[in-house]
Structure formats: structure tokens, C-alpha cells
Structure 1
Amino acid sequence: MAERRERLISAAYMLYSDPGFPETTIEKLCTAARISNRAFYECFSGRNELMQALHERCVQETLTAVAKSIAQAPDTPLGRAEAGIAGYITYVTEDRRRARIMHLEVRRAGDCLTMSRQQAVQAFTQIIETNVFDLPRVAETDRRLLALGMIGAIQELLIEWVLADDPPPVDSLISTATHIFYRSFTT
């Protein structure tokens, strides 16, 4: 069963990113994974549960990549923030499918993934709170709201990157997000 589950997650990684979550039927997933519809339902209750498993895997892998970037950064709030931003954007954009699933298709999946999205946002909020909130200016603001604003800005930059006919260079995404960070956290 674990091997079939992995094949379905791999099929969903391809199909949920293109043609997209709403357009991907269980039949298409089963064909791509080379399993029967019955075998699908032995692994997942439906497309939504499969999307949730895929999204959570993408988030966990990204959290690991960001933690590694921060651990290798200069041990200052600004050094950790810059490394975290660059680590996040670089990792997510290394595979356009990952960026599309994490920032576009998860929204297109609808209410069924609201909890999964909120858990991901909470995990990234915790990273920001843990690594950059010893900056002097931050003490004057609501830290959680500031972290959420930063997350929202990065999400919108990545949605633009996914949807644009001529996507901005990844370096521009990183420098823009870093600029937003500096303006939000240090001025």
C-alpha cells in the first residue's frame, strides 16, 4: 500500500500542477499512477485528501530547506532573515510544480485545505518569530501580524512568478522580498 500511495503522490505532483487541481480527476490520477480506482480509495478518501498529503509534504520539505539555510547563515537576526527568505524562495522555485502546488493549487482546492494552509502559515510564522524578532524595531509592533504580512508578500511574489508569461528572475523575487523585509522590520 505504501508504494501505491507514493505513486499517487507522484502522479498528483505532476497533474495537480498541470493541468491543475480542479481539472485532475481520480481517473487521471489512477492512470498516471498505474493503479485501479479501487486501489486509489484504499490509499486516500478522495482528491482532497491526496492534495492535503501532497501539500503537507511540500511544506515539510520546504521547512527543512529553510531551517538548513538559516542554520548556515550568519548568527544575526538580519543574516538569518536573509538566509531564510533566500532559502524559501530558492527551494520553492527549484521546481515550478512545487511553487504552483504550494501557492496556487492549494487555494484552488478550496475550503478542504484551509486547515492545511493555516498550519503551514503557522509553521513559517514560527520560523520568523524564532529567528528575527530580536530586532529593536519589532518590539513596537504585533510580531505575529508582521510575520503574516511578510509571508503574504512572499506568497504573492511567488504567485506572480508561477502565473507570469515572462516570470521575474528568482534573484529579483529574493531581492524584492528582502527589501520588503528591511522596510518592515528595520525602519
Structure 2
Amino acid sequence: MGGGTEQLPRGRHGLTREYVTDHQRGRILNATIACVAEHGYPDLTVEAIVGAARVSRRTFYHYFRNKEEAFLAAYDDVARRLATRLRGIAALRDATFAQRVEETLRTVLTFFAEHPAEAQLTVVEALAAGPAALRRRHDALLAIVDLVDRSTHALTDGDDPRRLPPITAETVVGGVVEVVYSRVERGETARLPELLPDLAYCVLLPYLGPATAAAEHDRLAGGDTPDGPREGV
């Protein structure tokens, strides 16, 4: 959703039922994200959500049975918003592996830096929100691992004995996630984009070797893109 928790106008407002439904549900999701970031999932209550969303308990229970359902819906909403940003990278047919890694990391780190409450919910609190949330997180990580592994197939011939085992992608992705987790958990979410050069180096190292990884690290640390300096960096 990405919006706020503004209430609808009172009385006859001429708004469609669909708009009212989307607006109310969006307010609940945004309130859930904010409350999870403030209190953590274990201390999250329906009372806190309805208070922040400025809706009645009846309205909350019209959409969700409990706080877990609201959390999972908020998680899915954040995931969709991030996926929308990443979709353009997948469409870059002529991009190199290094360019895809750079743009993917930049997009994710920037998204979380711009939305610290969303980062807290998806990266940290999902671990405490029960089996369903853990499955969502697990499935998301598996999808990323599979994407990374498939993206590296073009780097070597299929029969090349130097081809790295699939567990390499799992190790790389797991390491990046742990680094991001530790920063979000420590309240350093706003500084996540600063990690781009180092994380890009770590991802590229096993696939492209130390020389290429170091060159990409130095370029990113200097604020350059493959076509020259980035504006505003």
C-alpha cells in the first residue's frame, strides 16, 4: 500500500465501495507495519493496530481474524512493493551479471533505507511471527537463491568443471541477508545503501574472481556506474 492512515471523510462522500474497502484495508496494513516496528511482533496487539489505523475493532475483524493474519498481509504487501521495483531489472536483457547484482542490491538496500518500518517487519520480525511467516521468508529466500544460481549459468559452459556448486548461491544470499538483518536489528537501516560496494564484492567474488570483484567494489565505492559517475552521490 505504502500510504498513510488518513480517515475517510464522514457522512455522504460518494466514494465507491471498492475504494472504501481498499482504503480501510490499506490503513490497517500500514498501521500494522508501524506498530510492529514500534512494539515488535510478540507485543503487537489488535488494540494497537486499530488505534493507529483509526478504525473500529469491527472493521479490523471484517478483514482479518487476528494479528497474525494482519501481519502476513502486511508482509505480502511489502514483498509486492519491493518486487515491483525489482521487476525492471529482470527485464534488462543486455545487462551483465555484475550489473544485475549491482542494481538488485542497490534497489533492495535503498527500498529498506527509505522504509525502515517495512525493513523491520520483513527482515527481523518475520522470524518471531510464527510458522506461516517463517514459511514466507523461507520461500522468498529460496526464490532468490534459485534466481542467483540460474543467473550464473551463463558465466560458464554447462560442462565446465570450474562451475560452482548450487550451494554457492545459498551461501552468498544467506550472508547478504544476515548482514542486512544485523544492521536493521541495530537500528542502522538508513545506512544500508553504504553497504553496496562491500556486498557487491562478496556476491561477485566466487563467480567472477577477486580481480573483477575488487574492480567493481572500487568503482562503486567511488560513486561510479559503468557509464560514469552517478549524479548526486
- The TM tier, using the shorter chain, reads 0.7 to 0.9
Change (3 A) 1:84 1:132: farther
Q: Which moved more, 1:171-180 or 1:47-56?
A: 171-180
Of structures 1 and 2, the one scoring higher in RCO (CA 8 A, sep 6+) is 1
Contact map agreement 2:37 2:120 (CA 8 A) in 1? yes
User: Residues of 2 paired with 1:179 and 1:120: CA distance?
Assistant: 23
Q: Give RMSD over aligned pairs.
A: 2.5
One-letter amino acid matched to 2:179: L
Counterpart among 202, 205, 221 of residue 180 in structure 1: 202
Structure 1 residues 41-56: aligned runs within 5 Å: 41-56=61-76
Match of 1:100 in 2: 120
User: Residues of 2 paired with 1:66 and 1:22: CA distance?
Assistant: 31
Contact map agreement 1:62 1:91 (CA 8 A) in 2? yes
Identity of aligned residues (%): 20
Q: Note the residue ranges of structure 2 that are not aligned, 5 or more in a row.
A: 1-20, 210-233
User: Residues of 2 paired with 1:10 and 1:54: CA distance?
Assistant: 7
Q: For the pair shown, which has the larger CA radius of gyration, 1 or 2?
A: 2
One-letter amino acid matched to 1:63: A
More helix by share: 1
Contact map agreement 1:153 1:177 (CA 8 A) in 2? no
- Structure 1 residue 131 and structure 2 residue 158: aligned? no
Match of 1:34 in 2: 54
Match of 2:185 in 1: 163
Match of 2:165 in 1: 142
Change (3 A) 1:61 1:133: farther
Contact map agreement 1:66 1:84 (CA 8 A) in 2? yes
- How much has 1:126 moved relative to structure 2? 4.1
Contact map agreement 2:180 2:192 (CA 8 A) in 1? no
Matched positions, count: 186
Q: Note the residue ranges of structure 1 that are not aligned, 5 or more in a row.
A: none
Q: TM-score, normalised by structure 1?
A: 0.85
Counterpart among 41, 59, 82 of residue 62 in structure 1: 82
Change (3 A) 1:2 1:171: closer
Match of 1:83 in 2: 103
Secondary structure of 1:186's aligned partner: helix
Secondary structure of 2:131's aligned partner: helix
Contact map agreement 1:70 1:84 (CA 8 A) in 2? no
User: Residues of 2 paired with 1:150 and 1:64: CA distance?
Assistant: 23
Counterpart among 133, 146, 154 of residue 176 in structure 2: 154
- How much has 1:150 moved relative to structure 2? 2.4
